Amino acid sequence: MTAEAARRFLVARHFLAPARSLAGGPGAVLEVFRRLGSIQFDPLAVAGRNHDLVLHARVAGYEPAWCDLLYERRELFETTNKALSFIPASEFPWFRTSWGRKGPRFHADALAENADVAARVLERLRSEGPLSSADFERESGRTKDWFGMPENAVRSVLEAYTVTGVIGLARREGNLRYYDVIERLLPAELLAHEVPEREQLRHKLLSRYRAHGLLGPGGAGGTFARIADPPERNELRKELLELGALVPVEVEGMRGKRLVVAEELALLEAPPEPPPSVAFLAPFDSLMWDTALLASLFDFEFVWEGFFPPAKRRWGWYVLPILFGDRLVGRLEPRIERDEGVVRVLNVWWEAGFAPGRAAGFVEAMREALGAYLRFAGAERFEWGPHLAAEKRRFALGFDRAELPAPGPAARAPSPRRRRRARG
């Protein structure tokens, strides 16, 4: 396939052609999960939490409360899949075997070495749950954190029980997790569904290909982390190819083969030309996983600079790539100031050779995306950095939030609670 066809395929299968086009409220959210399999959770909310940004880019009028509602209904479940992620609860039987963040041996040792603490924690959860770690007194133990320091044994035990499927997350209050025994969180028939471990591992490997859409056999970075050791992963991939679940393809200008989920072959053969829409992509959006592919297909260098010292950042701390049609054309650095009802635009960077004022349809699409982001943020207005006067003039919405165009039917669904700085 040509590079252009590959880009169009990726954008279309990610529900980004056009952006924010899936209508149906919480039902549309579930449709995204069914396609992508899982969406990474990250608690940072300076521009919106990662999973909310992923869904906002795809679902018309997306409201974060919709995801919360689906979690309360137990239609979504939280587990480790590459990183901490939400998955459809219906897939829980295929995620029962988990490596967790540190591997199965570490978590098994945490329970064995803190057996008394583990017994007390589980007894209280059975009788009083849901409970958070704050509901327990800190207890010392032998387990260590990432820095080799003694870790609160209660936290170690809660994580280990979660990884082994004894308990799960009942809810979050801010960044505080509340746990309960698994039998109170998921239906009995779902818990009774036993899936052989080998099948679970194949499913998890397939889920990473589902999430991205065009990964190579070796993935990218930590794409296949926390499934199995590399030799076993190679065998699992061969099994998926033999079963016909994955199909190898070649992409013009890229070395090696890429693997596509078999159900998406029809779209791969005739990807539509994307309309001129704009989406702001989350840093951990699965479309951004393969940085080599982004460089080759999109001519876009993507680096997550969140952990870089400020002096070493070329762009910013929490920056959203800007997708226009099937091209990545820039980066936006917004900050949501909820107490003030403001979204501050700290910076904008355009890709070399891209002129926002001359790209057909871009200004209108960018304005529409900014208006949608303002609604998503629950803010009244934008405040642009003083060096962004040209962007402020060019993309001025011309109205405040109260006068924004009414969102589509999905937004009215009931819900519970490289390179150069912007210049004209």
Q: Are residues 283 and 164 in the same domain?
A: no
> Which residues have CB under 8 Å from 150's CB, separation 6+?
140, 141, 143, 144
Give yes or no: residues 172 and 199 share one domain.
no
- Reported as a pLDDT band with limits 50, 70 and 90, residue 220 is confident
Confidence bin at 423 (pLDDT 50/70/90): very low
The span from the CA of 394 to the CA of 424, in Å, is 8
Kindly state the average pLDDT of the residues 256-260. 95
What residues are paired with 264 via a beta bridge?
A: none
Q: Are residues 320 and 397 in the same domain?
A: yes
pLDDT at 84: 84
pTM value?
A: 0.88
Structural domain ending residue among the three candidates 142, 162, 188: 188
> Is the pLDDT at 138 greater than 80, yes or no?
yes
In a domain, 254, yes or no: yes
Q: Band the pLDDT of 382: cuts 50, 70, 90.
A: very high
Give pLDDT, residue 415. 38
What pLDDT does residue 276 have? 94
In a domain, 98, yes or no: no
pLDDT band at 103 (very low <50, low <70, confident <90, very high): low
> Over the stretch 146-155, which tens digit does the pLDDT of each residue have?
445 567 889 8
Statement to judge: residues 41 and 176 lie in one domain: no
Q: Indicate the residue among 231, 248, 269 that finishes a domain.
A: 269
Report the pLDDT averaged over residues 101-129. Answer: 84
Confirm whether 88 is domain-assigned: no
Q: Is 82 among the domain residues?
A: no
322 and 255 within one domain: no
Q: Among residues 140, 155, 188, which one ends one of the domains?
A: 188
| Residue 131 shares a structural domain with residue 27 | no
If asked whether residues 314 and 415 sit together in one domain, one would say yes
Task: Give residue 416's pLDDT band: very low, low, confident or very high (50, 70, 90).
Answer: very low
Do 179 and 149 share a domain, yes or no? yes
Q: Lowest-confidence range among 8-12, 114-118, 208-212, 278-282?
A: 114-118
The answer to whether the bond into 18 is cis (omega within 30° of 0) is: yes
- Check whether residue 265 and residue 286 sit in a common domain: no
Q: What is the 3-state secondary structure (H, E, C) of the chain?
A: CCHHHHHHHHHHHCCCCCCCCECCCHHHHHHHHHHHCCEECCCCCCCCCHHHHHHHCCECCCCHHHHHHHHHCCCEEEEEECEEEEEEHHHHHHHCCCCCCCCHHHHHHHHHHCHHHHHHHHHHHHHHCCEEHHHCCCCCCCCECCCCCECCHHHHHHHHHHHCCCEEEEEEECCEEEEEEHHHCCCHHHHCCCCCHHHHHHHHHHHHHHHHCCCCCCCCCCCCCCCCCHHHHHHHHHHHHHCCCEEEEECCCCCCEEEEEHHHHHHHHCCCCCCCCEEECCCCCHHHCCHHHHHHHCCCCCCCCCCCCHHHCCCCCCCEEEEECCEEEEEEEEEEEHHHCEEEEEEEEECCCCCCCCCCCHHHHHHHHHHHHHHHHCCCEEEECHHHHHHHHHCCCCCCHHHCCCCCHHHHCCCCCCCEECCC
Residues 297 and 413 in one domain: yes
User: Could you tell me the CA-to-CA distances from 112 to 118, 123, 179, 397 in Å, in that order?
Assistant: 8, 16, 20, 59
Is 95 a member of any domain?
A: no
Domain hosting 302: range is 278-421
| Mean pLDDT estimate for the chain | 88
The pLDDT-based confidence of 263 (bands split at 50, 70, 90) is: very high
Q: Is residue 168 part of a domain?
A: yes
Q: Which amino acid is at 383?
A: E
Give yes or no for residue 421 having a pLDDT over 50: no
> Residue 81 domain-assigned?
no
Q: Domain check: are 55 and 158 in the same one?
A: no
CATH for 170: 1.10.10
Q: Give the model's pLDDT for residue 81.
A: 87
* pLDDT score, position 145: 54
399 has pLDDT over 80? no
In three state form, how does the secondary structure of 291-321 look?
HHHHHHHCCCCCCCCCCCCHHHCCCCCCCEE
Q: Give me the sign of the Cα torsion angle 195, 285, 82, 254.
A: positive
Q: Quote the pLDDT of residue 142.
A: 62
Looking up residue 316, the CATH number of its domain turns out to be: 3.40.630
When mean pLDDT is compared across 82-86, 271-275, 306-310, the lowest value belongs to 306-310
Count of structural domains, the chain: 3
The identity of residue 59, as a single letter, is V
One domain, residues 290 and 399: yes
Alpha-carbon gap, residue 206 to 213, rounded angstroms = 10
Query: Which tokens belong to 296?
Result: 């080759």
- Give the pLDDT mean for 364-389: 96
pLDDT for res 362:
97
| pLDDT tens-digit map of 226-240 | 788 889 999 999 999
Selection from 54, 65, 324, 95 nearest residue 211 by Cα? 54
Structural domain contains residue 80: no
Peptide bond into 130 cis (omega under 30): yes
